[in-house]
Amino acid sequence: MSVGSTSSSSGSSSSSRSSSSSSSRESSGSSSSGSGSKISQDKSQAKDKSQAKDKSQAKDKSPTKDKVLAKDKAMVKEKALALSRQVVARRADVVREKLTRSGFDTASVAGPRKQFVNNGGTQRNPGLDAINALNLQGGDPHTCVKTTRANLQRAGLKGLPAGTGDDGNNPRGMMVQMLQSGHWKSVNIPESTEQTITSPYGSVQAHVLSGEAYLAAAANGQIPEGSVVFQTKRGWDYGVESKGSDVGIVRNGAIFNYQANRGMSVYGNNVSEVVVMHPQ
């Protein structure tokens, strides 16, 4: 009995140690597993924070970069515009120099009784005198042909067309018929070139100024008061519609079509071709 009791006690002690060892291993494994999970969680949080920081930095840098690029583009655009203005100004200066060297009569706009002729002298033009003595009357918007024709008729001028509807470009139709009448001529201003202008009403020869040459001549006082000015920003070969072409009378250094304009070009710097006409 004593031996059996000892053996039983020994077995119980061994079993107790085995249980304790197993419990210890489980506890260690659980602790290790918990530690690993915490490390993984910490890494994941660190990665999320890093990505959020990168996005935040990228977001902060992006507007600054966009602003710099926008500023650079604006500077390039401004420089290009400045260069373009310099080129236009230089071309105008060259035309003015040529006009001056040609001996063109710059005093021709001193009054309605002093009108230029091509040799640089002056002579009276009764037709221009009549136009300049007239109180010009305005008309409805976009009626440059109708209003200009009415004012010229009131001044007693001849060679004016009864209608221009056969030509989609009404100012061109009016110009061609006036030149065909023999009562009008296109003025041979220096820098103009003789060209054929064709309309459904026929073809005529006319002295045509480029937009730059016209603006330079106007600035130099070379377009007398009372002149009838046909101008276009599309070119005289365009006949689809009247939009982009105009006719008016020079009054007080500006164009009067159906109203008084502020300058000699109703299209600003976009004018491309001009024909200046006088009664004869």
Task: Give the pLDDT of residue 17.
Answer: 45
Q: Which one, of 264, 265, 275, 248, lies nearest residue 109 by Cα? A: 264
Low-confidence ranges of the chain (pLDDT < 50): 1-33, 102-121
Q: Other C-beta atoms within 10 Å of 120: how many?
A: 13
**Res 78: pLDDT:** 74
**Residue 170 to residue 142: CA distance in whole angstroms:** 11
- Which whole-number Å values give the CA distances from 177 to 111, 172, 197, 203, 226, in the listed order? 29, 9, 11, 9, 19
pLDDT digits over 18-45, tens only? 444 444 444 444 444 455 565 666 666 6
pLDDT reported for residue 83: 73
Calpha distance 273→169 (Å, rounded): 14
What domains are there in the chain, each with its CATH number?
A: 127-279 (2.30.260)
Note the pLDDT of residue 261: 97
DSSP designation for 122? E
CA end-to-end span of the chain: 158
Q: By C-alpha distance, which of 122, 102, 105 is closest to 114?
A: 122
| pLDDT confidence of residue 221 | 92
Predicted pLDDT at 146: 98
pLDDT at 25: 46
Q: What is the pLDDT of residues 56-92, one digit of tens each?
A: 555 555 557 777 777 787 778 777 767 766 665 566 5
